A and B are shown apart, each in its own frame.
Chain A
């Protein structure tokens, strides 16, 4: 089985390196195909491993030593257990589809080859992230996906906004990574190892305060990668990247790494439920917070990005409350329908010649039926309508919140569900139905190539049926992570489900009803709360005004005023003083013999005077 493991891990790397050879060349179709095939191989291996783990239990290999210094030993070790194999399967599955999709999507891009190289590199990093058997290994993948995200967001580097967004994403992640590093150091100095097994074995023995600190630090890391408040701004901006990238990285896989981390470190977090609750609270907040921003946004991809953010919040609620398998389950289903949604959006974009404003679309159903259907399916799944995948996972999360007695959280999530349903269908309505606004701009949309649509079908299918794997999934995953039992009376449970479904449906209904009739009036846009939402609560502005600009100003100040005018100037002034004193001392050397003699005599007389004073004193 080790061969499967290594194949699953390294075939994306091989793909990336192979394609990288042609990176600078013009488009070569075979690079896309080879890359897709190799990712597919990885996917197949992952599925084999899934079966294998299901049958024989986890697989653990140590490839080689990496860092050894002092007492520290970090190997390259990989573990394929119930959690990681689920992640592997999800990642490789979505990746494969995205790769195939990209062959079509990136068809006309001159950096076609480079794109596949980056994309495969991302898959490799992600695999390392999920497969590593220690925290530092995870950190490698963690940073690796960050790098690939940077490369891919900034893929169209000639666009200022793209490279800006790429840098923003990288730096935001770095801030969180620092927290994570701190957590790692703390783990090391208390446990002496980074291996999951050792850490989890030692965790119960550690003082609670330390576990709490570790938990907080690790979660800070997760916050960055999963774009939780207040580090969330990068995710929306990251939509500057090509749409397949958004689908793969910023919806399905990378952003869920934070959730994965919390699930992975579940044994730590289960020791500190209050921290978990804090995580859950933040998650619930983000769920509503992000959904509210999605309500008013007009950018096709940003709406979906905010929805991703909101869904990540749901996952954190589950993970924070200790329902790890539910979090993981939502992670998986979300990966399917959200990537579908993005890829569909990609088709729309292509059709609209990269126009993203949904206000300028409308009535596309006529020209791109397949996409419209797929996106509607994904939206329904997102809204959590039975029997679509989203229903099963999301509903469970609400139940968990209710079960924990965290009614506040439940309420937030409940509202969030309603908002989700509304904005999803606002998007669908504005894009595919209603007035054909795009005609005004002289665009004649057409659907994507057939193979692209076919590639999306598996995702569409999964978005519909994935929910039904829930019992199997629970049984499988809870072999590793702690089980979670819901103790709500059945009646209440059904009531809750009904309520949730109800609010989702009413959200959909409201959206359909409203946008059938031309949407809201313009006057709404002048309302304070509309502007607040459309400006993303002014948070990006806040960051710009109170962090970035001051930092720039301060940096310039430090350089020009402190470094140049104080530190360097002090050094120079010392040198200049010495030099100037030389100029002064030079005056002694007047060249006049009389002066010379006087110096000699006066010098001696002064000494004599001192001598007399001194000897009088003695």
Chain B
């Protein structure tokens, strides 16, 4: 019973939060709502016995990602209201309703099979973290390593893109162009 209440509560909250994210005119509200939504989602994870993911969700999303966004927002000075020029509100809402119906119809279909053998079965009485660790460092070692590379790429990218180097927007090529210019 308490699971039902929790689910509907979290569901209502997440939907509300994300609706704010999408609809709000104020970036700050949107970001706060997003952070809230993320946390509520971690609630689902706990509900679903995926404690590790729940933690990661809070740490990574609410911690790292939202912090990044917050920095970004400070940088962009987007505390003022943004004006979204929607060409037609009706179309937007129609699309929303339509897409929601489509998604719900599809996902509410009896997708799951009853005869599927789990590849990595959750063993009773073993902690979720333990299990995840086991799978992650055997089967998913390669993706894990690649994810590491991906994060490295993201890091390098972030550094390079945001670095001072990119501000010298005139590149070397442009400095050398002088003589060509004269000859024309």
A and B pair up: yes
Question: Which stretch, B56-64, B67-75, B99-107, touches the partner chain A?
Answer: B99-107
Pull 5 A–B residue pairs with CB atoms less than 8 Å apart, ordered by A: A601-B99, A602-B95, A605-B98, A612-B102, A612-B105
11 additional A-B residue pairs with CB within 8 Å, beyond A602-B95, A608-B106, A609-B98: A601-B99, A605-B95, A605-B98, A605-B99, A605-B102, A608-B102, A609-B102, A611-B106, A612-B102, A612-B105, A612-B106
B81-112 interface bits toward A, Cβ cutoff 8 Å, 1 = contact, 0 = none: 00000000000000100110010011000000
Question: Which residue of chain B has the shortest Cβ distance to A615 in the bound complex?
Answer: B109
Q: What total of A-B pairs shows CB separation below 8 Å?
A: 14
Nearest CB of chain B from residue A598's CB, rounded to whole Å: 9
Q: Which residues of B contact A602 (CB under 8 A)?
A: 95
A590-609 interface bits toward B, Cβ cutoff 8 Å, 1 = contact, 0 = none: 00000000000110010011
Whole-angstrom CA separation of A601 from B98 in the bound complex: 12
Interface residues of B, CB < 8 Å — how many? 6
Whole-angstrom CA separation of A612 from B107 in the bound complex: 11
Whole-angstrom CA separation of A608 from B102 in the bound complex: 7
Q: Which residues of A contact B98 (CB under 8 A)?
A: 605, 609
Q: Which residues of A contact B95 (CB under 8 A)?
A: 602, 605
Interface residues of A, CB < 8 Å — how many? 7
Whole-angstrom CA separation of A612 from B106 in the bound complex: 8
Question: Which residue of chain B has the shortest Cβ distance to A611 in the bound complex?
Answer: B106
Closest 7 CB pairs of A and B: A608-B102, A605-B99, A612-B105, A605-B102, A609-B102, A605-B98, A612-B102
Whole-angstrom CA separation of A609 from B95 in the bound complex: 12
Whole-angstrom CA separation of A612 from B95 in the bound complex: 16
Whole-angstrom CA separation of A618 from B105 in the bound complex: 16
Q: Which residues of B contact A612 (CB under 8 A)?
A: 102, 105-106
Whole-angstrom CA separation of A601 from B105 in the bound complex: 17
Q: Which residues of A contact B102 (CB under 8 A)?
A: 605, 608-609, 612
Whole-angstrom CA separation of A605 from B99 in the bound complex: 7
Interface hits, B102-140 → A, CB 8 Å: 102, 105-106
Whole-angstrom CA separation of A601 from B99 in the bound complex: 9
Q: Which residues of B contact A608 (CB under 8 A)?
A: 102, 106
A202-221 interface bits toward B, Cβ cutoff 8 Å, 1 = contact, 0 = none: 00000000000000000000
Question: Which residue of chain A has the shortest Cβ distance to B99 in the bound complex?
Answer: A605
Nearest CB of chain B from residue A603's CB, rounded to whole Å: 12
Q: Which residues of B contact A611 (CB under 8 A)?
A: 106
Whole-angstrom CA separation of A589 from B105 in the bound complex: 32
Question: Which residue of chain A has the shortest Cβ distance to B84 in the bound complex?
Answer: A594
Nearest CB of chain B from residue A246's CB, rounded to whole Å: 78
Q: Which residues of A contact B99 (CB under 8 A)?
A: 601, 605
Question: Which residue of chain B has the shortest Cβ distance to A602 in the bound complex?
Answer: B95
Q: Which residues of B contact A609 (CB under 8 A)?
A: 98, 102
Nearest CB of chain A from residue B89's CB, rounded to whole Å: 15
Nearest CB of chain B from residue A349's CB, rounded to whole Å: 80
Nearest CB of chain A from residue B67's CB, rounded to whole Å: 26
Whole-angstrom CA separation of A609 from B99 in the bound complex: 9
Whole-angstrom CA separation of A602 from B91 in the bound complex: 12
Q: Which residues of B contact A605 (CB under 8 A)?
A: 95, 98-99, 102
Nearest CB of chain A from residue B93's CB, rounded to whole Å: 14
Nearest CB of chain B from residue A605's CB, rounded to whole Å: 6
